[in-house]
Amino acid sequence: MKIFTSAQIHELDKYTIDHEPIKSIDLMERAAIQLTDSIVAEWDKDMKVVVFAGPGNNGGDALAVARMLAVRGYNVSTWLFNTSGRLSDDCKKNRDRLKDVKQAASFVVVTEEFDPPTLDAQTLVVDGLFGSGLNKPLTGGFASLVKYVNTSPAKVVSIDIPSGLMTESNEYNVKSNIMKADVTLTLQQPKLSFLFPENQQFIGHVEVLDIGISQEGIDKTDAQFYILEKSDITPCLKRRDPFAHKGSMGHALLVAGSRGMAGAAMLAAKACLRTGVGKVTVHTPACNTLPLQIGVPEVVLDVDSDTNVVSEAVDTDCFKAMGIGPGLGTNENTAIAVIGQMRRAQCPIVVDADALNILAAHKAWLQQIPVGAILTPHIGEFDRLEGVSTDSYERLSKAMLLAERQHAYIVLKGHYTAIITPGGRVLFSPTGNPGMATAGSGDVLTGIITALLARGYTQGEACAIGTYLHGLAGDIAARSLGEESLIASDIINSLPMAFKELSNE
């Protein structure tokens, strides 16, 4: 699914109007019908409805919704804010239409002073002040109104996007001046800012309404941002050849573990095996020999000469892919071994966990990682690499620059894990749940992506399939176990069901 910028959204509206063809007021009416139906499905007529409409097309949507709710028997009071004396053409038309509806409880046009209505727990506020075209923080009376609504016990439903929230970057926004919606009824497609954790407090539950924007226009419009869907993943899955053997299914190397961290190596190895690779070798210090031989008897061990930490690099000529980092620690001998291992890699690599922390401590070494490497940081690891960011959009922008600069793939882990390609495309994975916020979950992802690389998937395919599969396995585990009790091993145990679900078996 494509995620469009505010400028692209505006152009798609115009394309639909020109090519359907349809009048802009009729497209607004079509959107208002969908909005009204969703509101009616959620709240009954016992709720007193207060509609706040701004001077633009978002306000026009709100006025149309006010009219439709009034006709359906809701007690609707509407305030149209026209402090500048300029309304959009469609906002004017819906203003005039609302004036003709006798069922509306009241309709006030605000040009100067505003005496706000009482908002209690039995009030539903329809927020139609500002939409996706907003490009600066709310100030003055609008900011005061938003604060008034936010401190009230009323329920809030926002049209398209909560007023005050910007579609992409909110780095310089004033958070206290953004409407906090209980429900956001967004039009046609979710907005980029909806995918960032700091904005969840504003958007509430999001419902995406199909208002019939031209599919031809959507198909023709290039996008930089996407949300992955099952239909993107299933066609990419490789079917096993009936004559396959372990030698033809790929040989993966994992460089992982240190004293007390055998579990990280075990989780990555088990996940790698469960993702269908033919053979897994784990390079690890001698102290982890017994735990790995007992816990994961299917792996081949390559034991480091050091008892406690990884201290030496190994040849990668016989491996199809390498994952490096889980549980390694940041011992200086390990750091030297890690950069030596990455420099001599003759296969695609996944860089995770302590390998990332080592690079963060030796930033000049970043220039030595191979082209096409996959880096899988969580937010903390990424901030150590590239500096602390003020918000998710800034962090994403930095990740895009890093991917371009290093010709690397960045898998920035989170609720919506972002996969950033060297060419600047960003794919968000919708799978996964809060139960996966548990130790070892990232080690599992490293094992999955490494296995996919070893099996012959490209870096882009391995990142997209691996991230989606990882989250889906977590979702399957949560269905039976719940989120609270989910541990990393449960994700691994659910991988077979995730594969079956993706392959439609």
118 in Cβ contact with 82 (< 8 Å): no
Beta bridge partners of 78: 51, 107
pLDDT score, position 62: 98
- In CATH, the number for domain 230-502 is 3.40.1190.20
Q: What is the topology classification, in CATH, of domain 2-222?
A: Rossmann fold (3.40.50)
pLDDT score, position 59: 98
Nearest to 430 by CA among 415, 443, 441: 415
The residue ranges of every structural domain in the chain are 2-222, 230-502
Nearest to 501 by CA among 483, 478, 475, 481: 475
pTM to 2 decimal places? 0.95
pLDDT score, position 505: 57
Q: How far is CA 492 from the centre of its chain?
A: 22
DSSP-based helix, strand, coil % in the chain, nearest 5: 45, 15, 40
pLDDT score, position 445: 98
pLDDT score, position 6: 95
The CB-side HSE value for 66 (13 A sphere, CA atoms) comes to 36
How far is residue 477's CA from residue 488's CA, in Å, rounded to a whole number?
Answer: 10
Query: H or E segment at 227?
Result: strand 225-227
> Tokens standing for 416?
């919506």
What string of pLDDT tens digits covers the 505 residues of the chain? 999 999 999 999 999 999 999 999 999 999 999 999 999 999 999 999 999 999 999 999 999 999 999 999 999 999 999 999 999 999 999 999 999 998 988 999 999 888 999 999 999 999 999 999 999 999 999 999 999 999 999 999 999 999 999 999 999 999 999 999 999 999 999 999 999 999 999 999 999 999 999 999 999 999 999 999 999 999 999 999 999 999 999 999 999 999 999 999 999 999 999 999 999 999 999 999 999 999 999 999 999 999 999 999 999 999 999 999 999 999 999 999 999 999 999 999 999 999 999 999 999 999 999 999 999 999 999 999 999 999 999 999 999 999 999 999 999 999 999 999 999 999 999 999 999 999 999 999 999 999 999 999 999 999 999 999 999 999 999 999 999 999 999 999 999 999 999 987 5
230-502 has the same fold as 2-222: no
The total number of residues shown for the chain amounts to: 505
Residue 111 gets the label, from left (phi > 0), alpha (psi -120 to 50) or beta, of alpha
